[in-house]
Amino acid sequence: MKTLGYYNGTYDELEKMTVPFNDRVCFFGDGVYDAGPARNYKLFAIDEHIDRFFNSAALMDIEIPMSKQELKDLLQDLVKKLDTGDQFVYWQCTRGTAVRNHAYEKAPGNLWVMLKPGPISDGLTPIKCVTEEDKRFLYCNCKTLNLLPSVLYAQKAHKAGADETILYRHGGRVTECAHSNCHIIKDGKVYTAPTDDMILPGIARAHLVRMCKKLGIGVSETPYYMDDLWNADEILVTSSSNVCLRVSELDGKPVGGKDPETFERLRSALYKEICDATEADKIAVAV
């Protein structure tokens, strides 16, 4: 199969899949999701992604219709059905199926999975970003399906010929990006926004923080602001499929490029971590 969609036990190529009209996602975006990369048919950091998925569901009072282990087993089985082992793997749970009504009856949700080919970026190519005021609500720590603001922010970047939009709250505090986390390097140290309700606690962000500590690079999980962003030695963007990218242009102006050594230490170590964890199984050859 080239792509795969799954809905409550039924699966097929994406273009052949259908879902019930009354799934609450259609009316309210009522659900949570998570996603991550697979390489050589191996899901990277799958336990971390599933833990975050279940946490998001608990915070939104959504009942996932299987256990963590059952979901892990299902995803690992589904990735094996695609023609390529390098994939983007996405899954979501909506609150359920019912005639449209804001209030809901508690019941097991609907589980969706989507798989498509997708390589993991090695981070060697710099990206361009634009900035925009962050006007989202304060459930950013939950990976919900209410993504209209992110869609609009991503479209702004696209129309500007950029790759991502970096967001800031009123007062200038930098939060994250439309679909990534954002960090800066200044004087050899990494600064990243704290994991409060203004950002998603990214899996790639967590790996970045741990890698900083492993390499002896100072890391501060404290708020930073637009002035800090513009004056940073490097601006970094991380996500599960783009483990560590460097920003070279912001709102049409050059930025970063002042500490390539620290960036490269982090980029190469993080990319190696993924490659080592998803190395292809060796096939024994009879002699």
The 3-state DSSP class for residue 154 equals helix
Q: Which residues pair with 189 in a beta bridge?
A: 186
Which residue carries 């939060």 as its tokens? 175
Q: Residue 141 gets which letter from DSSP?
A: T
Report DSSP letters for 231-284, one per residue.
T-SEEEEE-SSB-SEEEEEETTEE---S-HHHHHHHHHHHHHHHHHHTPPPPPP
Supply the Cα-derived Rg of the chain in whole angstroms.
20
List the structure tokens of 1.
């199969």
Contact 91, 33 (CB under 8 A): yes
In the chain, what are the helix, strand and coil shares in percent, each to the nearest 5? 30, 30, 45
Catalytically active residues are 143
Q: How far apart are CA 174 and CA 152, in angstroms?
A: 18
**What strands lie across the sheet with 10-12, from one edge to the other?**
10-12, 4-7, 110-117, 87-94, 31-39, 42-43
∠ at Cα 197 (128, 164), nearest 5°? 10
Element (H, E) at 39: strand 31-39
| Neighbouring C-beta atoms of residue 113, cutoff 10 Å | 18
